[in-house]
Structure 1
Amino acid sequence: MPRRSYDQYCALARALDTVGDRWTLLIVRELLGGARRYTDLHADLPGVSTDMLASRLKDMEREGLVSRRRLAPPGAAFVYDLTARGRALLPALTALADWGAPALDEKRPTDAVRAHWFALPLVTRLGRHFAEGVDVIGVALDEGEFHVVLGTDDEDGPRYADGPAERPDIRLRMDTATCADIARDRLTLEQGIASGRIEATEPGAGDGARRRKSTATA
């Protein structure tokens, strides 16, 4: 079935022809964190029906935003990956997250939350506040962990992934309210660390981790 089009000779209209359908950009958000199985996507997109998710993934494959591949044994499951065209949406999603961040006031009782959903607004803020020598940053919330790779020496640029980093340069632990305040620019990383709302540690020799002095800039 052909997809609907705005039929306008306009770059924005062409973009919306491709990514303007409900759930499409949220699927991109999930896949920006790395390859995911269909069941993983469904679990982290609460509210989407199985039929809708399958339909959107087919549309996105046809538009060249995602590819599907089978993992090598013993996994042998199919996973979805963003193509280079799909990954190029990161700046657009980051801008939309910045625009939507002021709406993160009180969490509603019906709101679902996943830790890695905060990665988009944090990517630029972490890059802005941490000095050289900090490239991989682990972030732990009550709801789970994700990590950000600033990509200073990586042609792919900044990116993030669900779960803890294997060898982070620094680990940040905070509650969801603090993370939301950072996303809304009500709190800087430096202020959060100085006030104790953010615990910053780096891997250390011997007994695990030691507290890190703030490398954030004003």
Structure 2
Amino acid sequence: MPPRRSYDQYCSAARALDLVGDRWTLLIVRELLAGPRRYTDLHADLPGVSTDVLASRLKDMERDGLATRRRLPPPGAASVYELTERGRQLLPVLQALGEWGQAELGERRPTDAVRAHWFALPLLRSLEGEGLVEVGLEEGDFHLRVGAGDGPVYGDGPAPGTADARLVMDAGTCAAVARGESTLRQAVRAGLVTVTGDGTLAKELREA
């Protein structure tokens, strides 16, 4: 592979941007925080990226030790990409970037794509403790692993197994939390989020 482009500056921020500063790289990380993903799934959930650019970014991430590719055993027999430990360490970076970008979110534009699981990271910022949380939106279900030390922090679809809490809300409420206009606890108190479940997280939210 060709050598990585560099800012050639002896600065940790510049070194970090050497690895993740290219367009689409951090959004690929966002998708891979859900766990192993096939190339076709990544392309479907990154509307606007070309196949050539996606393939190039994934190769860069493999070269730089942020992601790996492996072959699933039969009957899957498909190649998947997943984050390395170094790649998973970008979670707080994405969280901080998302929090900083709240002021830029505004109302959804007609040209804006949306996926239900894109709300996962903003909701994670509103939850404390540990546990499995299932979220139901009109656009679909996803689940969060609150306080996960390693591995996937969220995933598409219902929670695997019994969730500690299930949250049901409309997209407007979820977007308000993502924009920083409301905390999750405030939305629960206002009756905008239905909380069910017997886990500690559910009880804490109902008592908020």
TM-score normalised according to structure 2 size: 0.91
Is 1:164 aligned to residue 154 of structure 2?
no
Counterparts in 2 of 1:173 and 1:6: CA distance versus 1, 3 Å: same
- Structure 2 portions without partners, runs of 5+: none
User: Could you say which residue in structure 2 is the equivalent of 1:208?
Assistant: none
Q: Is 1:147 equivalent to 2:148 in the alignment? A: no
Percent identity of equivalent pairs: 65
SS at match of 1:15: helix
Shift of 1:216: 5.6
Give the SS at the match of 2:101: helix
Q: Pick the aligned partner of 2:191 from 192, 196, 200.
A: 196
Number of aligned residues: 204
Deviates more, 1:173-182 or 1:27-36: 173-182
Deviation of 1:197 after TM superposition, in Å, equals 1.2
Q: Does 1:215 align with 2:205?
A: yes
1:135 to 118, 125, 131: 131
Question: After the TM superposition, which of the residue ranges 100-109 and 61-70 deviates more from structure 2?
Answer: 100-109
| Partner SS, residue 28 of structure 1 | helix
User: What is the identity, as a one-letter code, of the residue corresponding to 1:171?
Assistant: R
Q: 1:60 aligned to 2:61?
A: yes
Pairwise CA distance, 1:102:
2.0
* Partners of 1:107 and 1:6 in 2: CA distance: 34
Give the deviation of 1:189 after TM superposition.
2.2
Match of 1:21 in 2: 22
State the alpha-carbon separation in 1 of the partners of residues 207 and 11 from structure 2: 40
TM-score, structure 1 length as denominator? 0.87
Please give the root-mean-square deviation of Cα atoms over the aligned residues, in Å: 2.0
Q: Which ranges in structure 1 are unaligned for 5 or more consecutive residues?
A: 205-211
Does the Cα contact within 8 Å between 1:189 and 1:216 map onto a contact in 2?
Answer: no
Q: CA deviation at 1:156?
A: 2.3
**Secondary structure of the structure 1 residue equivalent to 2:121:** helix
Give 1:199 deviation, angstroms: 1.3
Amino acid at match of 1:148: L
Tell me, yes or no, if the aligned pair for 1:149 and 1:159 is still in contact at 8 Å: yes
Q: 1:146 corresponds to which letter in structure 2?
A: F
In structure 2, what is the equivalent of residue 207 of structure 1?
Answer: none
Does the CA-based 8 Å contact 2:106-2:179 persist in structure 1? no
Distance verdict in 2 for CA 1:188–1:46, change over 3 Å: same
Letter in 2 for 1:159: V
Higher mean displacement: 86-95 or 139-148: 139-148
- Taking the TM superposition and a 5 Å limit, the aligned residue runs for 1:29-108 are 29-108=30-109
- Distance in 2 separating the partners of 1:213 and 1:70: 41
Letter in 2 for 1:15: A
**Structure 1 stretches of at least 4 aligned residues deviating more than 3 Å after TM superposition:** none
